[in-house]
Amino acid sequence: MKDFLTYLVTGITLGASFALIGSGFVVVHRVTRIVNFAQGSFAIIATMLSASLLRGRLPHGLAEAAAVLVCGVVGAGVGWVALGRRGTHPLISLIVTLGLSILASAVIILLWGQDPVSPPGLHGHVTLLGVEVERQRLLVLVITLLAFAALALFFSRTYLGKALTASASNPYAARLVGIDVRRMGLLAFALAGILGGLAGVLVAPSNALSFSSDLALALSGFAAAVFGGLSSPGRTLVGGLLLGVAGQLTAGYLNGSYQTTVALLLMLLIMIARSRTFVAEEAK
Amino acid sequence: MLRIDDLVVRYGAAVALDGVSLHLEAGEMVALVGPNGAGKSTLLNAVSGLVPPASGSVTCEGRIAQVPEGRQMFPDMTVEDNLVLGGWSVRNRDLGEVLDLLPDLVRLRKLKAGRLSGGQQQMVAIGRALMAKPDLLAIDELSLGLAPLVVAELAEHLRFLNSERGTAILLVEQEVSLAFELCPRTCVLEAGRVVAAGPSAELAESEAVRRAYFGDLGVSDELMAGFAGTEVHS
């Protein structure tokens, strides 16, 4: 039982990071219909940058915040390239983001090398449900929940959030009322950069990340986002947590190397189960 | 207040508007009629700045808001959010004035726009355009797909808006009788050109105009007889 609880709690905290990455996918897809495969790169860039800033004696909190903000700017840059000219098909943009993630890997190797990096985070443990949990992992969960609450409030309560939703809902009508749909797309990418960066600085102290970790992160995040139909942040959070727990249970009771396989299998099952909903949404 | 001079709009090689000129005074109501593909919607989109002119010019003193063809709701958002977003360009989030003008919207404000009837959606579309505090309301197909009673009610709102607020209206309308009835002046477009323009009452009487441009719209003599209270000379 204790083992199970351990897997459960670590799974939830790990799943929170998947959900954060996934929410980046959701924000961009909601507004632009683009699947942004550079989403994992934001996490790596933030990790490397925060590690460098911490080495440069910038205090905790500030270093991470600066790294996350830089990722927001990088996100807007990715959006600027991926959105291209008006009328660029989302599938073309998807390939562009894939290319940009490869470019990002090259730049990361150039600037920071190939070794995995794990910047210092919170030390110590707390006991939760009789299970010892690293405080850093708990921080991931808390910040993820806060980020999702903020995201939900932003989309439902703020004028700008509504304009973002409107751009996704009916781009023609959005242009008609004077909303700059392209600028909204850039904003969505910037938000995705911030969310991805946040995931990076939160995860890296517990799991070292290298230039090549972006794909695994993006894959897990994407699976969570698919659970949310690529449009619902709330369901993405649930999907991320489920995925994290399933992965940890697999690693604990079976074998750690099956984790990604389980993630992919889950994603496949969800897609099959939800295919009708997707078709219905497409038809709308 | 609106001056369209020698406007040419092209979609690739196709010429959608071919030297169209039209002037609107402040507070005027003008109808744009003509067969399908005549360029009416293109003209409206050019006026709204959604379509760039190839040559010629569109100048407007004041703000323009468009009520687009097909209503173009944000379907998953509430009526209130649809309205509020209409004021985006002028940062107007105060629904009070629009709800005063269109009181039917008050009880709909919390409903999702996608779930409303066509008439209700058209009302929201008009309300959304009014949120931009326009001096000119450009309406694309007011009556399309709506029951006559609903259309009559919407028309009444437009008349009120025009007389009380002085909002100019440029109305694209397939339903010629409605266009003539609502707008004192009408401009007839065909194949991207203005082929007739003038007081609606005169145009309604004009046998040549009727034969040439409304015959293919299936307008019956009885309907024509109803325009502006005039008889059709056959």
Q: What mean pLDDT do residues B197-210 have?
A: 78
Q: What is the pLDDT confidence band of residue B222, given thresholds at 50, 70 and 90? A: low
Q: Confirm whether B228 is domain-assigned.
A: yes
Torsion of CA B145, B149, B150, B156, to 10 degrees: 130
Q: Distance between CA atoms of A166 and A177, rounded to whole angstroms?
A: 10
Q: Does B78 touch chain A (CB under 8 A)?
A: no
The tokens of A148 are what? 């999702």
Q: Confirm whether B66 is domain-assigned.
A: no
The tokens of B113 are what? 């726009």
The tokens of B231 are what? 């008889």
Q: Does B132 touch chain A (CB under 8 A)?
A: yes
Element (H, E) at B21: strand B14-24
A169–B128 CB contact, under 8 Å = no
Q: Does residue B177 contact residue B227 with C-beta atoms inside 8 Å? A: yes
Which CATH topology does A2-116+124-283 take?
A: ABC transporter involved in vitamin B12 uptake, BtuC (1.10.3470)
- Side-chain half-sphere exposure of A165, counting CA atoms within 13 A: 25
The tokens of A266 are what? 């889950």
Nearest CA in chain A to B127: A177
Strand partners, B3: B23, B59
pLDDT for B146 equals 87
The chain-wide mean pLDDT, for chain A, equals 90
Q: Does residue B16 contact residue B192 with C-beta atoms inside 8 Å? A: yes
- Provide CB contacts within 8 A for B233, sequence distance 6+: B205, B207
Strand partners, B66: B138
Strand partners, A125: A134
- Provide CB contacts within 8 A for B13, sequence distance 6+: none
Q: What is the pLDDT confidence band of residue B208, given thresholds at 50, 70 and 90? A: low
**Which of the pair, A260 or A100, is modelled with greater confidence?**
A100
Share of chain A above pLDDT 90, in %: 61
Picking from A176, A181, A183, A281 by the largest number of B CB atoms within 10 A of its own CB, the best residue to mutate is A176
Which SS3 state, helix, strand or coil, does residue B223 take? helix
CB nearest to B74's CB, from A159, A169, A178: A169
pLDDT for B234 equals 37
Count Cβ atoms within 10 A of the Cβ of residue B14 and give its class: 0-12 exposed, 13-18 middle, 19 or more buried.
Answer: exposed
- Provide CB contacts within 8 A for B40, sequence distance 6+: B32, B33, B34, B140, B172, B189
Does the model's ipTM exceed the 0.90 cut? no
DSSP B194: E
Q: Does residue A117 contact residue A208 with C-beta atoms inside 8 Å? A: yes
pLDDT for B231 equals 41
Q: Confirm whether B223 is domain-assigned.
A: yes
C-alpha distances in angstroms, B234 versus B176, B208, B221?
A: 18, 11, 9
Which of A129-133, A238-242, B63-67, B173-177 is predicted least confidently?
A129-133
Which SS3 state, helix, strand or coil, does residue A116 take? coil
Residue A191 has pLDDT above 80, yes or no: yes
A172–B72 CB contact, under 8 Å = yes
Q: What mean pLDDT do residues A190-205 have?
A: 95
Whole-prediction pTM: 0.85
pLDDT for A109 equals 95
Residue B88 has pLDDT above 70, yes or no: yes
Which of A1-15, A260-274, B30-44 is predicted least confidently?
A260-274
Q: What is the pLDDT confidence band of residue A160, given thresholds at 50, 70 and 90? A: very high
Q: Does A56 touch chain B (CB under 8 A)?
A: no
Share of chain B above pLDDT 70, in %: 88
Q: What mean pLDDT do residues B225-229 have?
A: 48
Element (H, E) at B148: helix B148-165
- Widest pairwise Cα distance in chain B: 54
Q: Does B203 touch chain A (CB under 8 A)?
A: no
Residue A187 has pLDDT above 90, yes or no: yes
Q: What is the pLDDT confidence band of residue B229, given thresholds at 50, 70 and 90? A: very low
Q: Confirm whether B197 is domain-assigned.
A: yes
Q: What mean pLDDT do residues B112-137 have?
A: 93
pLDDT for A283 equals 58
Number of domains into which chain B is organized = 1
- Please, what sign has the CA dihedral across residues B105, B108, B112, B117? negative
Q: Confirm whether B224 is domain-assigned.
A: yes
Torsions phi, psi for B21 (to 5 deg): -125, 135
**Which of the pair, A13 or A1, is modelled with greater confidence?**
A13
Question: B222: domain range?
Answer: 26-49+136-234
Tell me the Ramachandran region of residue A153: left when phi exceeds 0, alpha when psi lies from -120 to 50, beta otherwise: alpha
Q: Domain boundaries in chain A?
A: 2-116+124-283
The tokens of B180 are what? 């003539």
pLDDT for A144 equals 95
Q: Does residue B130 contact residue B123 with C-beta atoms inside 8 Å? A: no
Q: Distance between CA atoms of B114 and B106, rounded to whole angstroms?
A: 17
The chain-wide mean pLDDT, for chain B, equals 86
**Which tens digits make up the pLDDT trace of A57-94?**
999 999 999 999 999 999 999 999 999 888 889 999 99
- Provide CB contacts within 8 A for A14, sequence distance 6+: A137, A244, A247, A248
Q: What mean pLDDT do residues A230-250 have?
A: 90
Q: What is the pLDDT confidence band of residue B131, given thresholds at 50, 70 and 90? A: very high
Q: What mean pLDDT do residues A257-272 have?
A: 79
Q: Does residue A118 contact residue A54 with C-beta atoms inside 8 Å? A: no
Q: What mean pLDDT do residues A220-236 have?
A: 89
pLDDT for A174 equals 94
pLDDT for A98 equals 94
Label residues B101-119 b or e (16+ Cβ within 10 Å = b).
bbeebeebbeebbeebeeb
Q: Confirm whether B209 is domain-assigned.
A: yes
- Please, what sign has the CA dihedral across residues B85, A191, A225, A87? positive
Q: Does B11 touch chain A (CB under 8 A)?
A: no
Q: Does residue B16 contact residue B56 with C-beta atoms inside 8 Å? A: no
Q: What is the pLDDT confidence band of residue A282, given thresholds at 50, 70 and 90? A: low
Which SS3 state, helix, strand or coil, does residue A100 take? helix
Chain A residues with CB-CB distance to B49 below 8 A: none
DSSP A157: H
Element (H, E) at B188: strand B185-190
CATH of the domain at B217: 3.40.50.300
Q: Does residue B73 contact residue A170 with C-beta atoms inside 8 Å? A: yes
CB nearest to A176's CB, from B66, B75, B81: B66
Residue B216 has pLDDT above 60, yes or no: no
